[in-house]
A = this chain, B = another copy of it.
Amino acid sequence: MTTEVKPGPRERLLEAAATLTYREGAGVGIQALCKTAGVSKRSMYQLFDSKDELLAASLEQGAGAYAAWLLPADDDGRSHRARILHVFERVESQATVPENRGCRYLAVQIELKDQSHPASRVARQVKDDLKEFFRAEADRGGARDPDLLARQLLLVFDGASARAGIKVDDLAGLVAPTVNTLLDAAGM
Contact = CB atoms under 8 A, between A and B. Distances in A.
Contacts of A178: 152, 155, 182
The number of times this chain is found in the oligomer is 2
A interface, how many residues as a size bin?
35 or more
Contacts of A158: 158-159, 162-163
Interface string A144-181: 00001001101111111011011111000110011001
Given A115-B167, A151-B169, 15 more contacts: A23-B113, A24-B113, A27-B27, A101-B110, A106-B110, A106-B166, A109-B168, A115-B166, A128-B168, A148-B173, A154-B169, A156-B159, A158-B158, A158-B163, A159-B160
A115 B165 CA distance: 10
Interface of A: 23-25, 27, 101-102, 106-107, 109-111, 113, 115, 120, 124, 127-128, 148, 151-152, 154-160, 162-163, 165-169, 173-174, 177-178, 181-182, 184-185
